[in-house]
Amino acid sequence: MSSVIPNPDPIGLPAPAWLLQILLVLTFVLHLLAMNLLVGGVVMMGIAHRKGKSSPFYAKLAERLSMALPPSMAMTITLGIAPLLFLQVLFGQAFYTTSILMAWPWLAIIPLLIVSYYGLYIVQYRPEWLGNFRTAISWLSALIILFIGLLFTSNSVLIMDPSKWGPMYAQSDTGLRLEVASNGLWARYLHSIVAGFAISGLGLGWLARRYERDDAEWSREATVYGGKWFVNATLVNLVVGMWFLFSIPREIRMNFLGESMVDTGILWLGVLIALGAMHFAMKARVVPATLMAVATVALMAVSRHRLRAMFLDPDLDPTALKVSPQWDVFAVFVVLLLAGLVVVGWMLHKLAKGSENAASAPEG
């Protein structure tokens, strides 16, 4: 039913498709990293709150995570804006359509975000209000965040399958439907959530560094604990990843299994580097493990992008769209982005230096 695919926007792309695709994947990787820290971190905090009732290590872990999570949430949202912008430029024909098909669940993301975000803040600032409900509220935020992830995966999967669109709209034009029975949806969803568990393990390694001076023992223990999260989650994800791979229809899957050298290379290089990251994570060497894990996330994001292109070919091909470049405005964007990043770096540097000088426990 490719006939329902909306016509491309007559205004055309404001830059060549390759540039927009690079920006899409690049900013999406940044979003993924922040999202991973949030998703894994919030589950880790839920567990730590529970275990913290009998163990000081977990009690401190819960408290320290509670301070790191609201900024992770802010970064996840902020860094998610840019890829969504470029997605709308390149794949708007698909994105607006599928969002409308699942309009209410899609719109529910907004109030759900607000509730879970305030949940995180209450856990951080007013644990005394919550008393015994603190664990429950952290889990509530965690479950909401995990559900939001499912909504995003559902839309991403629906985008790739235009044959479903027409029949879905024929069943409901009020946007009440949520597609969760698609082939491969759950494998794909689990793959990204488990990646969150892994990356947040390394994130904990970085958080632990902040307490190296004042609470060395906890810091060491937390680094090892985080390493375990990374290793175990990555092991699980190797299996989930295989499930995901084999849920893809054969003619597309084979591109990643030798038919296309580029796609096969990108995917399996990512897997290989993940194995290297596991090696360093086991030794609690956070820096090399993180660098390799970030490389894996980036390669996986490229594979994901290529996978979508394969599914949508030839119905929707961004490289075939009309281009009316706006290079002057693009130049302004690049200059401002670079300047902005310098300023952001300066502020974070000042704050980090300030924390070293002040007592390391941040005030609430």
Mark out the alpha helices in 102-212 (DSSP H runs): 103-125, 127-130, 133-159, 165-171, 185-209
Residue 32 near residue 86 (C-beta atoms within 8 A): no
Residue 21: closest CA among 352, 274, 304, 296: 304
- Rounded to a whole number of angstroms, the minimum distance from the CB of residue 8 to other proteins is 9
- Say whether residue 5 binds other proteins (CB under 8 A): yes
Instruction: Name which position in 18, 55, 114, 133 contacts other proteins (CB under 8 A).
Output: 114
Contact between 25 and other proteins by CB under 8 A: the answer reads no
Among 55, 183, 319, 326, binds other proteins (CB under 8 A): 326
Amino acid at 213: R
Q: Pick out residues in 148-177 that bind other proteins (CB under 8 A).
A: 165-166, 169-170, 173-175
Distance in Å, CB of 9 to other proteins, minimum: 5
What angle (nearest 5°) sits at the alpha carbon of residue 83, between those of residues 82 and 85? Answer: 65
DSSP state of 4: G
Q: Binding string to other proteins for residues 27 to 46, with x set by CB under 8 A, is what?
A: --------------------
From the list 206, 232, 186, the residue with the least C-alpha distance to 294 is 206
d(CA 217, CA 208): 10
User: Is residue 10 at the binding interface for other proteins, with CB under 8 A as the rule?
Assistant: yes
DSSP per-residue codes, 132-143 = THHHHHHHHHHH
In this structure, are residues 28 and 83 in contact, taking their beta carbons and an 8 Å threshold?
yes
| Distance separating alpha carbons of residues 243 and 29, to the nearest angstrom | 22
Q: How far is the CB of 33 from other proteins (least distance, A)?
A: 14
Q: Rounded to whole angstroms, how far apart are CA atoms 162 and 94?
A: 8
CB of 229 to other proteins, least distance (A): 25
Binding mask 241-270 for other proteins (x = CB under 8 A): ------------------------------
* 362 scored as a contact of other proteins (CB under 8 A): yes
Q: How far is the CB of 224 from other proteins (least distance, A)?
A: 28
Q: Out of 128, 217, 251, 363, which residue is the one contacting other proteins (CB under 8 A)?
A: 363
**217 touching other proteins, by CB under 8 A:** no
Among positions 54-73, residues that touch other proteins (CB under 8 A) are 71
In the set 55, 74, 163, 183, which binds other proteins (CB under 8 A)?
Answer: 74
Q: Which of 3, 131, 181, 320 binds other proteins (CB under 8 A)?
A: 3
The rounded Cα 318 to chain-centroid distance in angstroms is 23
Q: Does 140 bind other proteins (CB under 8 A)?
A: no
Taking alpha carbons only, the member of 253, 232, 231 closest to residue 187 is: 253
Cα–Cα distance for residue pair 190/237, rounded to 1 Å? 8
- Identify which of residues 75 and 252 has a Cβ nearer to other proteins in the complex: 75
